[in-house]
Amino acid sequence: MPKITIAIDGYSSCGKSTLAKALAAKLGYSYVDSGAMYRAITLYCLEHGIIKDGVYQREEVVKILDQVHLSFVYNPHTKASDTYLNGQNVEKEIRQMAVSKNVSHISVIREVREMMAKIQRAMGKNRGVVMDGRDIGTNIFPDAELKIFMTADTDIRTQRRVDELTSKGNPVSTEEVKKNLLSRDYEDSHREENPLRKADDAIILDNSELNKEEQLNFVLKLVEDLKLVEGLKALK
């Protein structure tokens, strides 16, 4: 079967990136973390004083977009791609809480989304890609052969995020993380430009009680079933 496009959408801290990375590695596909791209722009705005105390001017953000150059570089140690902003590895910086608090505000800006969509579609034009985000199956790749929509219990997502940040040397309170998750869920689902929603043909994956291996096997089974269906069609 020719390579396919796999779109993974869902709420914050559902493990979209973890699953997408493992799936891409297993299938020999490219992996694109679309959320990292929005985080990188947010980081740039924070570092250059465009966002101050959570306040920004939309026009100022739009003005600096041509100064932002994003790329992904494979890291042999982590066996995954790191996010580079203007030639600098910012993989650690974009995961900080300050970025998480502001990324949903920046991602609602139409010009930002248009810029990201153009880059993302170019990355997936040859298929053989796994991309995760908020609007991949509904906007970026509406014709993706396989669409997954991930969700999980809010308290479980909160604890996962706390554990992730703590393991990276960024201790945070459970209350702060939960508040941030709920805020991002609301903003992502209610923005005017391509809000977070389940595509009509997406398959729901609630991983509240699933470990990483079980999630991966679930999606790999879907890929195998898809190959079988396509194979039968070819025989007709």
Task: Give the pLDDT confidence score for residue 75 in this predicted structure.
Answer: 81
* Residues 224 and 27: beta-carbon distance below 8 Å: no
Beta strand 70-75 pairing with 80-85: antiparallel
pTM: 0.83
Task: Give the pLDDT confidence score for residue 54 in this predicted structure.
Answer: 86
Angle, CA of 127, 130 and 135, to the nearest 5° = 100
Percent of the chain predicted with pLDDT > 70? 96
* Residues 35 and 120: beta-carbon distance below 8 Å: no
Separation of alpha carbons 111 and 118, rounded Å? 11
Task: Give the pLDDT confidence score for residue 235 in this predicted structure.
Answer: 44
Separation of alpha carbons 209 and 198, rounded Å? 20
* Residues 7 and 123: beta-carbon distance below 8 Å: no
Separation of alpha carbons 203 and 201, rounded Å? 7
Task: Give the pLDDT confidence score for residue 229 in this predicted structure.
Answer: 62
Backbone angles phi, psi at 105, to 5 degrees: -65, -40
Helix (H, G, I), strand (E, B) or coil at 234: helix
Q: Which residues of the chain have pLDDT under 70?
A: 1, 228-236
Q: 5-235 — its CATH code?
A: 3.40.50.300
Helix (H, G, I), strand (E, B) or coil at 13: coil
* Residue pointed to by tokens 């041509």: 66
DSSP string for 37-86: HHHHHHHHHHHTTSSBTTB--HHHHHHTGGG--EEEEEETTTTEEEEEET
pLDDT of 157-179, one tens digit each? Answer: 999 999 988 998 888 999 999 99
Separation of alpha carbons 82 and 93, rounded Å? 11
Separation of alpha carbons 230 and 227, rounded Å? 5
* Mean pLDDT of all residues belonging to the chain: 91
Separation of alpha carbons 147 and 154, rounded Å? 22
Task: Give the pLDDT confidence score for residue 168 in this predicted structure.
Answer: 83
Task: Give the pLDDT confidence score for residue 1 in this predicted structure.
Answer: 65
